[in-house]
């Protein structure tokens, strides 16, 4: 079997079709690994054609084809942004397509950087340097999450996290640790297909297989262990399911508020410790509408529970996308304002040049960022809040936990992306934050996936998809510390040193060297 696969890949390397077919095969495998298909293991295979075809290709071609590969991979992940821009940004389909392609083109530079790094390593150290792919990849994936405000939306680690056993590994090194495992497996498979009798293949393949299987078995064992102490604190969350084209329409404001209040009143006899409303729950500005504040306070008193309300806030810097904690006595116990805003969703970067993108923001207004990641305090403990997009940033959530957050809340409005894989991808990303930090996560979405996620990443309770509902689950306020929480991304110093060491010029460099000396 391996010989037939290697022969097929060898054909790709024998003529001008090598790179185009490698790119196409990689894109197809990558797309199939994503929700709604969700065959996560295919993300490991997706890198094999690119790595297999790498040796001997000129650097300029590696960079150009790598950029094209990255652009196509990103487009297969994010194509669902196009209908959002058309429906709610009043942007024509051709322009929406160009905007998304432009975004994917920028993100594609990271794949070009990765493959360029690998081409340099192979040139200076020989074909065996393919084994360094996981070290190079996680550096570029990390850069993708921090440069230009960062966009760490999916990756091979998230593909493996679709399997609950692998998901548990994020407690150790975060989501980048799973990406390392995925690329190590890709590199081992590539080396095996190129020359399975080489010394490096004979060492790398068993080691990668042992680590891959060992990680799965250890994760499966950990996932089977009960979470202690058992959760006893009831919490609630709402899914109002307000269509996005009605959410900010004044003629529907009364209906939206009534639905939200009615859904909340269903918890009168539940003894909740917290009720979470979704992002921008109602079309009212919190600080400017006393009637709205009084209505929320009345409901909090009626159900005898604190309510965390997603609402528009006012500040000296302007309007903010935020949350307010209202106690049963009607008093406000704290505010949180979203610190990491969505480019082209909550503000337009470089707006003097990108004037054509302003309609996207004008649908909801342009926001100012918050400045604090301090958790909100309840009698039972502290709550770390993220609003929608913020939850895709592992380091942001980690900072909240290190600031004392014992329970995580993510409020969102995925009604923007109805009928697309967007809400599923978003939820799967958010649930990783619960496992990385060993915390319960309450997720309240206007439209999307709402529920309580356990510290093992299991969806304990969830609302029916696509229907307005109020639901509840059990949580605990936890103060445990995971290795990821303690170390964060500091461990990336090791792969950085490895890449720099092997990328340096060497007298013994043999660009055409075989896998074994």
Tens-digit pLDDT profile for residues 289-304:
899 999 999 999 999 9
Which residues are known catalytic residues? 279, 338, 388
* Residue 503 to residue 116: CA distance in whole angstroms: 11
Question: Average pLDDT, whole number, for the chain?
Answer: 89
Among 175, 120, 56, 100, smallest CA distance to 489 is for 175
Residue among 389, 383, 347, 340 nearest 365 (CA): 347
pLDDT in tens, 358-368: 555 555 457 89
Helix (H) / strand (E) element for 344: namely none
Residue 380: partners with Cβ closer than 8 Å, 6 or more residues away:
233, 273, 477
Sign of the CA dihedral running 443, 449, 455, 460 = positive
- At 354, the pLDDT band (50, 70, 90 cuts) reads low
What is the CB-side half-sphere exposure of residue 367 using CA atoms within 13 A? 24
Which residues, in sequence order, are bridge partners of residue 239? Answer: 469
Q: Are 179 and 155 in contact (CB under 8 A)?
A: yes
pLDDT given at position 89 = 76
> Distance between CA 389 and CA 392 in Å, rounded?
6
3-state secondary structure of 235: strand
Helix axes 18-33, 2-12, angle to 10 degrees: 130
Question: Is the pTM here over 0.75, yes or no?
Answer: yes
Residue pLDDT, tens place only, 187-238: 999 999 998 888 889 999 999 999 999 999 999 999 999 999 999 999 999 9
CA 63, CA 111: separation in Å to the nearest integer?
A: 9
Q: Are 364 and 248 in contact (CB under 8 A)?
A: yes
Mean pLDDT confidence for 142-163: 95
Burial class (CB in 10 A: 0-12, 13-18, 19+), 144: buried
pLDDT digits (tens, 9 = 90+) for 229-288: 999 999 999 999 888 888 888 888 889 999 999 999 999 989 999 999 999 888 889 998
Strand partners of residue 471: 237
Query: What is d(CA 304, CA 70) in angstroms, rounded to the nearest whole number?
Result: 51
For 461, other C-beta atoms within 10 Å of its C-beta total 17
Confidence of residue 160 (pLDDT cuts 50, 70, 90): very high
**Distance between CA atoms of residues 393 and 317, nearest Å:** 24
Angle at 463 between CA 378 and CA 409, to 5 degrees: 30
Q: What is the pLDDT of residue 508?
A: 55
Q: What is the DSSP string of 87-99?
A: HHS---HHHHHHH
Q: Which residue has the tokens 């068993």?
A: 206
- Mean pLDDT for 131-156 is 95
The tens digit of pLDDT for each residue in 318-341 reads 899 999 999 999 999 999 999 998
Q: What is the pLDDT of residue 516?
A: 44
Q: CA–CA separation, 70 vs 23, rounded Å?
A: 9
- Compute the distance between CA of residue 374 and CA of residue 202 in angstroms, rounded to an integer: 50
Q: Given its phi and psi angles, is residue 234 left (phi above 0), alpha (psi -120 to 50 degrees) or beta?
A: beta
- Pick the closest to residue 391 from 354, 435, 327 (CA basis): 435
Beta strands at 332-337 and 274-276: parallel, antiparallel or unpaired: unpaired
The label of the residue with tokens 């080691």 reads 207
Which of 4-8, 143-147, 337-341 has the lowest average pLDDT? Answer: 4-8
Under a CB-based contact definition with an 8 Å cutoff, are residues 184 and 498 in contact?
A: no
pLDDT tens digits for range 478-500: 999 999 999 999 999 999 999 99
Instruction: Report whether pLDDT(513) > 50.
Output: no
> pLDDT at position 158, please?
97
């Amino acid at each position: 079997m391996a010989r037939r696969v290697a022969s097929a890949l060898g054909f790709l390397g024998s003529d001008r079709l090598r790179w185009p077919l490698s790119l196409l095969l990689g894109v197809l495998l990558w797309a199939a690994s994503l929700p709604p298909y969700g065959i996560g293991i295919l993300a490991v295979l997706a890198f094999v054609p690119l790595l297999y075809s790498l040796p001997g290709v000129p650097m300029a071609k590696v960079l150009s084809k790598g950029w094209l590969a990255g652009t196509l991979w990103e487009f297969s992940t994010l194509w669902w942004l196009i209908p959002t821009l058309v429906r709610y940004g009043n942007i024509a389909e051709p322009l929406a397509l160009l905007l998304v392609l432009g975004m994917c083109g920028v993100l594609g530079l990271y794949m070009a950087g990765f493959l360029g790094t690998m081409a340099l390593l192979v040139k200076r150290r020989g074909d065996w340097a393919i084994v360094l792919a996981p070290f190079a990849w996680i550096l570029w994936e990390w850069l993708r999450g921090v440069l230009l405000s960062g966009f760490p939306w999916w990756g091979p680690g998230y593909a493996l996290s679709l399997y609950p056993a692998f998901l548990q590994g994020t407690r150790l090194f975060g989501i980048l640790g799973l990406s390392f495992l995925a690329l190590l497996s890709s590199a081992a498979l590539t080396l095996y297909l190129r020359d399975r009798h080489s010394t490096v293949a004979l060492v790398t393949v068993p080691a990668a297989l042992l680590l891959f299987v060992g990680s799965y078995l250890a994760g499966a064992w950990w996932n089977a262990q009960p979470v202690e102490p058992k959760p006893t604190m009831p919490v609630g969350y709402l899914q109002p399911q307000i269509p996005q084209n009605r959410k900010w329409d004044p003629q529907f404001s009364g209906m939206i508020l009534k639905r939200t209040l009615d859904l909340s009143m269903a918890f009168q006899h539940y003894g909740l410790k917290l009720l979470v409303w979704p992002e921008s729950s109602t079309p009212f500005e919190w600080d400017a509408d006393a009637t709205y504040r009084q209505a929320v306070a009345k409901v909090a008193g009626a159900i005898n529970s604190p309510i965390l309300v997603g609402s528009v806030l006012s500040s000296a810097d302007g309007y903010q996308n935020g949350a307010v904690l209202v106690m049963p006595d009607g008093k406000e116990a704290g505010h949180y304002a979203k610190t990491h805003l969505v480019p082209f969703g909550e503000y337009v970067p470089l707006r003097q040049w990108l004037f054509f993108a302003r309609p996207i923001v004008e649908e909801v207004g342009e926001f100012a960022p918050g400045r604090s990641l301090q958790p909100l305090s309840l009698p039972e403990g502290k709550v770390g809040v993220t609003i929608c997009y913020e939850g895709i940033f592992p380091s942001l959530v980690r900072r909240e936990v290190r600031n004392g957050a014992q329970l995580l809340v993510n409020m969102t409005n995925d009604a923007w992306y109805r009928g697309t894989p967007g809400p599923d991808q978003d939820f799967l990303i958010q649930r990783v934050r619960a496992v990385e930090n060993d915390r319960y996560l309450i997720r309240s979405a206007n439209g999307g996936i709402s529920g309580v996620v356990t510290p093992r990443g299991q969806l304990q309770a969830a609302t029916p998809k696509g229907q307005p509902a109020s639901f509840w689950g059990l949580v605990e306020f936890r103060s445990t510390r995971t290795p990821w929480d303690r170390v964060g991304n500091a461990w990336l110093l090791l792969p950085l040193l490895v890449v720099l060491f092997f990328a340096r010029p060497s007298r013994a460099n043999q660009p055409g060297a075989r896998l074994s000396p």
